[in-house]
Amino acid sequence: MLNLTRSVNLNGYSNVETTDSNNNKITQQVVYFSANITENGNPSVTVSIINKDLYSANKAAVQSDIASFYTTVYTELDAVGGNTNGTK
Residue pLDDT, tens place only, 9-19: 999 999 999 99
- Number of C-alpha atoms within 13 angstroms, CB side, residue 82? 24
The Cα–Cα gap between 28 and 39 comes to: 34
Counted residue by residue, the chain has a size of 88
Residue pLDDT, tens place only, 34-85: 999 998 889 999 999 999 999 999 999 999 999 999 999 999 998 887 665 5
Q: What residues have CB less than 8 Å from 77, skipping those under 6 apart?
A: 37, 41, 43, 84
Do residues 31 and 15 touch, judged by C-beta distance below 8 A? no
**Who has greater pLDDT, 87 or 12?**
12
Residue pLDDT, tens place only, 1-46: 998 888 999 999 999 999 999 999 999 999 999 999 998 889 999 9
DSSP string, 11-38: EEEEEEEEE-TTS-EEEEEEEEEEEEEE
